[in-house]
Amino acid sequence: MLDRPRSPQEPANVVAPRPVPAERVPAHALPSDPVLPLSARGLVFARAGRRLIDDIDFTLEGAGITLIMGHNGAGKSLLLRLLAGLVEPDAGTVTWNGRAPDRARATRVGFVFQKPVLLRRSALGNVVHALKCAGVKRAERKLRAHEALQRARLAPLAGVPARLMSGGEQQRLALARALALRPRVLMLDEPTASLDPTSVAHIEALALEAVRAGTRILFVGHDLAQARRLADEVVFMHSGRIAERTPAATFFDNPQSPLAARFLAGDLLLDEDRKLKREEETTP
């Protein structure tokens, strides 16, 4: 989406400060909550006879940013939706702290799509409405909404209709709205795809700020440089399966699977590479 012309009252583009590494919250320091550990067991999702998610076991706990990587069609975004309870699996289970996802805890799991889903309201109205739906007291809504817009550097645009904002501004608004609900887990599905560098910097800074506040983040992305900046650990997916899950430093410096090594080298990984993955799993 092209940027709209700015009015004289709006500030000129300001480059966001380069994100600095967040001071991660130790896992033992986090209070107990109704979401973590977030777990999947034997997760399967199939369409037209093909398993798009193929028998995945996964547990998310602790703190920091887990970045899910892999080529298009690997199943990254679908896995995110399954873990968020937005899609039902064909087999297997997803649990939030031992129980199936439910509406009562849905506000504790934030989700930002690659293409922002916004209401036909002002920037402020979008955030206020989300807080209302989450049951936040009327007296608190506008204050929390203004705070969220301030953190996202959108305060001057509070009264601007969301549909008139640029693509980068809309994505920052979607993220600000999600963070205003103070989620325990935040899932970001390629939130910086096709955005300008300034918007990318703003969104990365917001993600790191959320981590410092104790939010656990699952981040789907393709950008290796961004992954190096943000990730505490990397989950590498191929053909609906998790091929590798390692600390970020290990993934980039010494990948543990041939598929991940080929991905980092820039090779194209095709569906035939399923056979290679199967062979890795059966090799003693």
Average pLDDT over residues 82-87: 97
Return the HEC string of the chain. CCCCCCCCCCCCCCCCCCCCCCCCCCHHHCCCCCCCCEEEEEEEEEECCEEEEEEEEEEECCCCEEEEECCCCCCHHHHHHHHCCCCCCCEEEEEECCECCCHHHHHHEEEECCCCCCCCCEHHHHHHHHHHHCCCCHHHHHHHHHHHHHHCCCHHHCCCEHHHCCHHHHHHHHHHHHHHCCCCEEEEECCCCCCCHHHHHHHHHHHHHHHHCCCEEEEECCCHHHHHHHCCEEEEEECCEEEEEEEHHHHHHCCCCHHHHHHHCCCCCCHHHHHHHHHHHHCC
Average pLDDT over residues 193-211: 96
Average pLDDT over residues 81-88: 97
68 versus 33: which is more confidently predicted?
68
The confidence score (pLDDT) of residue 268 equals 81
The token duo for 224 is 């290796």
| CB 185, CB 215: distance < 8 Å | yes
Provide CB contacts within 8 A for 115, sequence distance 6+: none
pLDDT at 11 over 80: no
The confidence score (pLDDT) of residue 274 equals 53
The confidence score (pLDDT) of residue 144 equals 98
The confidence score (pLDDT) of residue 32 equals 59
| CB 111, CB 84: distance < 8 Å | yes
The confidence score (pLDDT) of residue 4 equals 42
The confidence score (pLDDT) of residue 271 equals 61
268 versus 96: which is more confidently predicted?
96
Average pLDDT over residues 18-23: 41
The confidence score (pLDDT) of residue 61 equals 94
**CATH classification code of 34-119+182-282:** 3.40.50.300
The confidence score (pLDDT) of residue 270 equals 72
Question: Residues 116-165: pLDDT tens digits?
Answer: 999 999 999 999 999 999 999 999 999 999 999 999 999 999 999 999 99
% pLDDT > 70, the chain: 83
pLDDT at 6 over 70: no
